[in-house]
Amino acid sequence: MFAEYAKSVWDGVVGQPRAVQQLTRSAAAPVHAYLFVGPAGSTKHEAARAFAALLLTGHDDPDARDARLALAGEHPDVREVERTGARISKDQVSEIIRNASMAPIEGSRKVMLLHEFHLLEADGAARLLKTIEEPPASAVFIVLADQVPPELVTVASRCVRIEFSTIPEATIRDVLIAEGATPAAAGQAAAAAAGNLTRARVLATDPGLMARREAFATVPQRLDGTGSNVVALCTELNALIDAAAAPLAARQEEEASALEARVAAVGERGSGRKQLEERHKRELRRHRVDELRSGLGVMAGAYRDALVQQRAARPDAAVHAVQRIHQALDALERNPNETLLLQALLLDLPTI
């Protein structure tokens, strides 16, 4: 269908052979809208850019100018939309519709790449539906979502759905080793990342990973049922999470400095300052949620191990603890105050 090249636009997509096969076939005769569904770190973002490159160029050469720009998120005919608040509002959807109605800048096709649409508000979904059903002839929509909540069901029904799965631990380990991580660091990061390659790449260079996992794993043994104990544990765990953000903060500071240099050279207009600041906030928020999710998973494992090894003084309480931790994990999807969530959880957990 497409000529073979030494490299491919799909090289950044990991562990998703079925999705790549579906999209490669579809690129020959694309429809108006696609929905990429899968967990964070499953490389659906990379797949969206790769598919956009294929739609614009008609071939699989990542070094072609249009493909290179699309893969870097810089092509003028690939419009990437990130949420600007806690959720995607109807006002932001109105801006998406306006951009979709405009003619392509360079070619005959425009690709609208919409991120995190599992956070779409209901009234925004209603407004987007008509455009998804009857898009401009030149527009192709690629909608990305971690899951399909009720607000997205009707929009999803108008799209071709492409499923992305959690990446196997062994695959992540192999990728990290290929990228230069030691086998030991790659194994630890892959085990802690829960199928999220993006997070695994961060963890592979994180010297505090094992200390954080140990801190969460020992929480059930250090609980004593008092509020002061819970506050102390939450303070300790939050400090470890904040320390783990240091590499991310350093990278963000470099990006902010580079932006200031561009503004000094060519002016503020079109600098993308607001977009950069919003992205940095999202990244830090994602970091905290990922760290807390990983730590709570380790904590649940400690209770399960106590049950299996018959170390739990009250097995029913340990079972309840695992259930309660999973409820907290579900609650993280609703953007809670992480500290309050953690404090309420620890107050409700037994010691082992």
Could you state, in chain order, the average pLDDT of each consecutive group of 10 residues for the chain (352 residues)?
Answer: 72 97 95 96 97 95 95 93 84 92 93 94 89 91 94 93 97 97 94 91 88 95 96 96 88 91 85 84 88 94 95 93 96 89 96 91
User: pLDDT value at position 333?
Assistant: 81
Instruction: Return the CA Rg of the chain.
Output: 22
Q: What is the C-alpha to C-alpha distance for residues 338 and 235, in angstroms, rounded to an integer?
A: 12
Contact 175, 14 (CB under 8 A): yes
Q: What is the C-alpha to C-alpha distance for residues 172 and 194, in angstroms, rounded to an integer?
A: 10
User: pLDDT value at position 6?
Assistant: 64
Q: Please state, in angstroms and as integers, the Cα–Cα distance from residue 303 to each residue in 113, 217, 235, 346, following that order.
A: 42, 9, 22, 13
User: Element (H or E) spanning 28, and its range?
Assistant: none
The values of phi and psi at residue 88, to 5°, are -90, 115
DSSP letters, 102-133, are SPPSSSS-EEEEE--GGGB-HHHHHHHHHHHH
Neighbours of 54 (CB within 10 A): 25
CB neighbour list of residue 154: distance below 8 Å, 6 or more residues apart: 125, 129
For residue 294, the SS3 value is: helix
User: pLDDT value at position 1?
Assistant: 53
Domain range 17-163, its CATH number among 3.30.70.1090, 3.30.1370.10, 3.40.50.300, 3.10.20.90: 3.40.50.300
Contact 218, 312 (CB under 8 A): no
Q: What is the C-alpha to C-alpha distance for residues 115 and 80, in angstroms, rounded to an integer?
A: 7
User: pLDDT value at position 84?
Assistant: 78
> Would you give the distance in Å from CA 180 to the centre of its chain?
23
Helix, strand, coil percentages, rounded to 5, for the chain: 60, 10, 30
Nearest CA-CA partner of 287 in 40, 119, 117: 40
